[in-house]
Amino acid sequence: MNASYSKIWGRLTESMLFLPTTALILILIADFFLIHNFFSIELKEGHLYGNLIDILLHGSPTMILAIGMTLVIATGGVDLSVGAIMAISSSIAAVMINPTIVGMNLTDPKLFINNPQYTWMPLWAVIIVPIIVATLCGVWNGMLVSYGRIQPMVATLVLMIAGRGIAQLITNAIQVVIFNDTYAFIGNGYIILPFSLYVAIALFVVAWLLTRRTSIGLFVESVGINFQSSFYSGINEKRIKLFAYSFCGFCAGIAGLVVTSNIRTSDANNVGMYTELDAILAVVIGGTLLGAGGRFSLMGSAIGALVLQTTITSMLSFGVPASAVIAVKALVVIAVVLLYAEQVKTFVRKLGNVSLRRETAQ
């Protein structure tokens, strides 16, 4: 009996999902005791309200980014430019809906100011074009890293800096307001749950099928663990990296749309600011090793994004000023670094054995 318990404990603690799930549960337990009515959920006008729903709503963009970032980090790289790519995609979308700011001389401005139906370009194009451009940004990153053999951090730093400039060029450095209601549905709408959550889930399913139902996932891990052995085994490791960065750009493009749609504004200067760090943090919480790469868990990253958002939402509901929340994120970073240290892992694994030994002794 005891042996089997210890085995289950061992399996459990070795699973990549153990730490992120435990973290999430611990934070929620703390919320239960510390924050009044944290878990209350109401159904009003066909959609749900409450802290938990807020977490899902605001956590979606990070989740979307984290999905793409997972693959990049698994190849042993990192993508610092996702925030800037978000700015680019959201600027393009905004200008395609509301062209005033780029100096288009339209006959009647009243046509679109405060007009919830108006869009300059058809909505399908407003969604497809930014995503394509964002994917191309990812391709650029991937080319620099794989064929250019530039350090991922340096290679993606290029677009991290340049991207915002490009976004400002597109919008003429003006905040663009979006009046179109259909577009705003992506980040604001509800089908009982926030629509952006469905976007994140759909992307998750696509990413999972793409990596685990094909051999791409295996190749990504293999390249991350040992690219030289992978090359000798006939894997085109450059193409794998190119794919990972492109997919990451694709995800960033979608995240950009979700965020602009949510705030109904595109501000090239602020959209996606520091989100690259959130995405990286979510992936790391999820158990994929930053720097080393290798084994990855998409589910871990998704839970990681939730851990991060739950922390932030809890802080805000607890009354911590928004400006101080970023300091709390730093604490999360420290906690993660500590938790993933090999010594702590071994300690946790042994914990099961010790407590069992005590039981048998008594």
Partner 1 sequence: MPDSDRDIIVMKGIDKAFPGVHALQNVDFSLARGEIHCLVGENGAGKSTLIKILTGVDRADRGTIELDGQTVVVRSPLHAQELGISTVYQEVNLCPNLTVAENLLIGRQPTRFGVSVDWKSLNAQARQYLKQLDVEIDVTRPLGSYSVAIQQMAAIARALVISNAKVLILDEPTSSLTANETAQLFTVMRKLRADGIAVVFITHFLDQVFAVSDRVTVLRNGALVGTYETSTLDHFLLTRLMLGRSITDLDEMKAHKIESSQHIRTESLLEASDLGLSNSIDPFTLTLHAGEVVGLAGLLGSGRTEVANLLFGVDKPDAGSLVMDGKPVTDFTPAGSIHRGIALCPEDRKVEGIIADLTVRENIVLALQAGLGWFRRIGTKEQYEIADKYIKLLNISTPTADQQVKNLSGGNQQKVILARWLAANPRLLILDEPTRGIDVGTKADIQKLVLSLAEEGKACVFISSELDEVLRTSHRIVVMRDRAKVTEFSGEVDETKIMKAIAGLAS
From 177, 193, 216, 356, residue interacting with partner 1 (rule: CB under 8 A)? 216
Q: Could you give the CA distance from residue 3 to residue 228 in angstroms, rounded to a whole number? A: 40
State which of positions 283-302 bind partner 1 (CB under 8 A). 294-295
Q: Could you give the CA distance from residue 89 to residue 122 in angstroms, rounded to a whole number? A: 16
Q: Does 213 bind partner 1 (CB under 8 A)?
A: yes
Choices 98-106, 161-169, 223-231, 308-316 (CB under 8 A): range interacting with partner 1 = 223-231
Looking at beta carbons only, is 94 or 235 nearer to partner 1? Answer: 235
Q: What minimum distance in Å lies between the beta carbon of 216 and partner 1?
A: 5
Strands 190-191 and 176-177 come out as: unpaired
Q: Does 50 bind partner 1 (CB under 8 A)?
A: no
Helix, strand or coil for residue 193? strand
Helix, strand or coil for residue 112? coil
Q: Could you give the CA distance from residue 123 to residue 273 in angstroms, rounded to a whole number? A: 26
Choices 62-70, 114-122, 219-227, 327-335 (CB under 8 A): range interacting with partner 1 = 219-227
Decide if 255 contacts 61 (C-beta within 8 A): yes
From 15, 40, 215, 346, residue interacting with partner 1 (rule: CB under 8 A)? 215
State which of positions 227-286 bind partner 1 (CB under 8 A). 228-236
Helix, strand, coil share of the chain (percent; to 5): 70, 5, 25
Q: Could you give the CA distance from residue 57 to residue 35 in angstroms, rounded to a whole number? A: 20
Q: What minimum distance in Å lies between the beta carbon of 304 and partner 1?
A: 20
Looking at beta carbons only, is 168 or 236 nearer to partner 1? Answer: 236
Nearest to 339 by CA among 16, 122, 76: 16
From 162, 193, 225, 277, residue interacting with partner 1 (rule: CB under 8 A)? 225
Q: What minimum distance in Å lies between the beta carbon of 343 and partner 1?
A: 14
Q: Does 314 bind partner 1 (CB under 8 A)?
A: no
Left (φ > 0), alpha (ψ -120 to 50) or beta: where does 122 sit? beta
Residues forming contacts to partner 1 in the complex (CB under 8 A) are 213-216, 218-219, 221-222, 225-226, 228-236, 294-295
